[in-house]
Structure 1
Amino acid sequence: MEMFSPLVLSITAISFVTFQCLFHFVSPWISAQFCPGYHRLGPRHTIEWNSRTVSTVHAMIVGLFCIYILLFDDAVNEDPVWGNPSLVKKNVAITCGYLLSDMLLICFYWQAIGDKFFVIHHLAALYAYYYVLSIGMLPYFANFRLVAELSTPCVNQRWFFEVLGYPKKSLPNMVNGIAMTASFFMVRIAVMPLYYSRMYAVYGTEPFYRVAFGGRCAWIGPSFCLDIMNIMWMHKMARGCISVLRSPGKVKVGMLQNGKVH
């Protein structure tokens, strides 16, 4: 078994502790200060609110780091299989810390946010990231996959609006819905040709055959499965967005409280 570097382990541990602190202390305090509706949430919604806040923070940090690597890390872009993975390892380590933190919260608050599919997803992701963090292979593809996190903030914001009682036809909800659909398309659908063209370019080459069999399984199979689901979600999301935009009714500004729009 390959060993993880002390730096990778340190970043993962710091990430884990940081996201735990965000969930237990930072999110409740900031949410109570700047969102009056937070006080009216029940215990289950409060837990999920804090979990989604942490998810949004993680997505923004990791997603922007991914964009920087794609634009400026020449070593990874020139050799997508075995290029210098130092920056990618740091980003993946942050994500691994988040995944471990989120799994702990899911298990501890199972009645509120428990979801076996999320646990399976997190375990599968950790398995795939093991090869990146320990062996350093496939840095380009691991980083490229994390770009999809940039669609997460709008997805979480949709839930925030829903639990706060914003009508579907409210202006904030509609703006976020359009942004959610557009961001999901850009970072999960529109990038597919580039991703699979790079995969096709390295398939069967000498660097490809240096990748362990387990690494190939963790790379190719899940990529196809995930993108099939992304296409299905995109179709559903686009239909929902078009349906709301076409539905009759006046656009409302504000939040629904006690049956009244404010």
Structure 2
Amino acid sequence: MKDIFPIPPIPALSRAIQPLADYLGFEILPLHIHEIVISALFYTFVQLVVSPVLSNFFFPQVYGAMSRSKKINWDVHVVSLIQSLLINSLALWCMFTDQERTNMNNDWKERIWGYIGTPAMVAALACGYFIWDLVITLLNLNVFGLGLLAHAVSALAVFSFGFRPFLNYYSCTFILYELSTPFLNFHWFFDKLNMTGSRAQLYNGIALIATFFSCRLVYGMYMSTWVYRDMWNAVWEGPSVEWITNPDAANGIAVRAYGAGAKPIPLWLFILYVASNICLNSLNVHWFFKMISAVRKRFVPAAPKTEVEVKKAQ
């Protein structure tokens, strides 16, 4: 299926990035660099313009009273909410409508080296967000912490190597980690809008825990085993790759054709992906238990203090 992004590749931008793409071995990066740049600029615009304007209009007393660091945190949650809604919709649409991607299901070599326009577009838009996220986290490390920095670095590494192309098939799969993110952001906003402990926050908390557990822990780790297996096969065996012109391919460009005798993927790439994936999954497990604790604090009454604890507090 062709890339449906409404803006075609920008020749000047593609030429500018070509030397870096050649150096890194990111053969399809020039075809999608405009999507990365536009995505990063869009989320920057949402953070700097859209969020402050709408927040001051709808929540002037809450947003207006915040300090600079708290406003940054608020704006970042607005960006995260918008991004997760957009990228989840695109990923699900791609998975259910792209027949070319469906045809890759039974061929591990295509899942590793295959290239299709729509999953690559999803990966490019995600990379744009992760670049924005990395910059914001570095500039405000005291606000967001090392955990979110590790997440931004790992996520950007995993998705950027898709422009070799590599694991293009899985880009939509792993972006579905974000299905729980809208509920996470709503949970945070309920606290800031003095709705802590409300029925709306309770229902949202149930949806948050359910989607986080099912999407990130169960589905995410299950699909990780598929990726590890495919990559391990590719370490020892690989197709020869020949670029051929295909008018039906994304943007009318080339696609992969397979033969015999190509070099397998380098071991360092396998190690990098496994390490990044383990980092992300470990963070998800850590955040899941913190999430349960945070929800319980809002809805489970604290046990009354004993006489000894009261005396210690005095």
Q: Give the TM-score normalised by structure 2.
A: 0.68
Task: Verify: 1:136 aligned to 2:165, yes or no.
Answer: yes
Cα pair distance change 1:192/1:120, threshold 3 Å: closer
Determine the C-alpha separation between the residues in 2 that align with 1:129 and 1:216.
14
Determine the C-alpha separation between the residues in 1 that align with 2:294 and 2:72.
27
Determine the C-alpha separation between the residues in 2 that align with 1:181 and 1:23.
27
Give the alignment partner of residue 177 of structure 2, picking from 148, 170, 173: 148
Give the alignment partner of residue 26 of structure 1, picking from 45, 50, 55: 50
**Correspondence 1:1-262 to 2 at 5 A:** 1=23, 2-3=25-26, 4-36=28-60, 37-77=62-102, 78=104, 79-111=110-142, 113-133=143-163, 135-167=164-196, 169-192=197-220, 194-196=222-224, 198-199=226-227, 202=230, 203-204=232-233, 206-207=237-238, 210-238=264-292, 241=295, 247=301
**Structure 1 letter corresponding to 2:88:** G
Determine the C-alpha separation between the residues in 2 that align with 1:130 and 1:26.
27
Cα pair distance change 1:91/1:242, threshold 3 Å: same
Determine the C-alpha separation between the residues in 2 that align with 1:102 and 1:242.
29
Determine the C-alpha separation between the residues in 2 that align with 1:19 and 1:34.
20
Tell me if structure 2 keeps the 8 A contact 1:56–1:156. yes
State the shift of 1:29 in Å.
0.9
State the shift of 1:45 in Å.
1.3
| Other structure's SS at 2:291 match | helix
Tell me if structure 1 keeps the 8 A contact 2:209–2:291. yes
Cα pair distance change 1:34/1:243, threshold 3 Å: closer
Q: Compute the RMSD of aligned alpha carbons.
A: 2.7
Q: Give me the identity figure in percent.
A: 22
Tell me if structure 2 keeps the 8 A contact 1:137–1:211. no
**Structure 2 letter corresponding to 1:176:** N
Cα pair distance change 1:190/1:107, threshold 3 Å: closer
Q: Give the TM-score normalised by structure 1.
A: 0.80
Q: CA offsets per residue over residues 227-253 of structure 1, 9 Å max, x none?
A: 3443343344345546755549xxxxx
**Structure 2 letter corresponding to 1:223:** N
Q: List runs of 5+ in structure 1 lacking aligned partners.
A: 249-262
Q: How many residues align?
A: 245
Between Structure 1 and Structure 2, whose CA radius of gyration is higher?
2
